[in-house]
Amino acid sequence: MIAVTREARVNALIGTGHFLSHFYVLCLPPMFLFWQDAFAVSFAELGLAVALMSGTTAVLQTPVGFLVDRHGARRFLVGGTLLMTIAIALMGAATAYWQILALAVVSGIGNSVIHPADYAILSASISKERMGRAFAVHTFNGNLGFALAPPVMVWLAAMLGWRGSMGLVGLLGIPLVAAILWQSRILTDQVRPVQATGAQPGGRALLMTRPMLLFFTFFLLSSMASGGVQSWLITVLHTVHGLELGSASSALTAYMAGATAGVLVGGYFADRISNHLAFASVAVVLAAALVLLVALVALPGAAVIGLMLGGGIALGASRTPRDMMVRDAAPPGQIGRVFGFVSAGLPLGGALTPVPFGWLIDHGRPELVLVLVAAILVASLFCAGGARAAYRARVPAPAE
């Protein structure tokens, strides 16, 4: 019988919760057509459900991070996961669309716990030598939740109807909550926050320091670039280079698969290198160069698919070193609020780019979309470098 290590069990519990949190966000869009028939609502009203869930999560992550640091992460992880689960399950019993919207807010409240609680627990429960891989597995599981939600929900709805599918996937979270409670002894909470000093501010003052604001912007810009690719790559490739829709769709699939797999590549190297900024910079520049090449050069479909796969791998590989830089900059006992704050840039960035990039396409300039994506990626590196330099100026790094 193969023994399962304590750290592997921690990764499994935290990773499954992260998978569910991402799965629940994207389990809503496949229900739109069913809800439109059931509740006679517009597409704008349907989109409001996802907007409310994501917006609630983004707004509450930082205050929840303070609570996690002050009172411990485990109780919030259990409560947040349970809240998400119950809200999604109850959507299957909704009799009016306003109930769907209210439950989307409740699910967003539960979801806001995941990032600050997960990173606080992982930072305290996993040895430093394997921290990069643990962060990578965490991100990988979230991406997998995004990838699997649409096809799984379509399949379940075909068999069970929209009510049965929402009820089923919601109730799947109950065993996870039970497992976290049963195995809670293996989840180590971080140390309590240290007393802030003039050299190392704490609380809200910490989040307003130059390093944290730059890290937030780094996350924001990274998400804006990814959102631009995910929303408009198919349209741009078809409109600008005349690629068939099948090839353009395959290019987006390749990018998404590469970004998911690249996270594990980045996690492997994050545990073996000390200069995370240099690794992330090379990866992001490579991703930007490949995207720019696709934007400017008319290439066969197979070449575009290969380049977008490579760009996705490179961008995915930059994510774990990015997270490690944030962890290194977070004072002891304040990881929850730091990750709650900087990771709020992810949903915000994803919400910012679709409309302006769509405006470019509407006004006859679709070729600029991927050029701007590449420029945003390069700009994000200046934020990462500035954050690291500002942090080291405040608290000198150990000799490498």
Residue 195 located in a structural domain: no
Residue 172 located in a structural domain: yes
Identify which has the larger pLDDT, 308 or 184. Answer: 308
pTM here? 0.81
pLDDT digits over 142-164, tens only? 888 888 888 889 899 999 999 99
SS3 labels along the chain: CCCCCHHHHHHHHHHHHHHHHHHHHHCCHHHHHHHHHHHCCCHHHHHHHHHHHHHHHHHHHHHHHHHHHHHCCHHHHHHHHHHHHHHHHHHCCCCCHHHHHHHHHHHHHHHCCHHHHHHHHHHHHCCHHHHHHHHHHHHHHHHHHHHHHHHHHHHHHHHHHHHHHHHHHHHCHHHHHHHHHHCHHHCCCCCCCCCCCCCCCCHHHHHCCHHHHHHHHHHHHHHHHHHHHHHHHHHHHHHHHCCCHHHHHHHHHHHHHHHHHHHHHHHHHHCCCCCHHHHHHHHHHHHHHHHHHHHHCCCCHHHHHHHHHHHHHHHHHCHHHHHHHHHHHCCCCCHHHHHHHHCCHHHHHHHHCHHHHHHHHHCCCCHHHHHHHHHHHHHHHHHHHHHHHHHHHHCCCCCC
Average pLDDT estimate for 19-37: 89
pLDDT digits over 178-216, tens only? 888 887 777 776 655 555 555 556 677 888 888 899 999
Residue 343 located in a structural domain: yes
Identify which has the larger pLDDT, 159 or 45. Answer: 159
Same domain membership, residue 22 and residue 159: yes
Residue 399 located in a structural domain: no
pLDDT for 240: 86
In total, how many domains does the chain have? 2
Residue 73 located in a structural domain: yes
Range of the domain at 133: 6-186
Residue 192 located in a structural domain: no
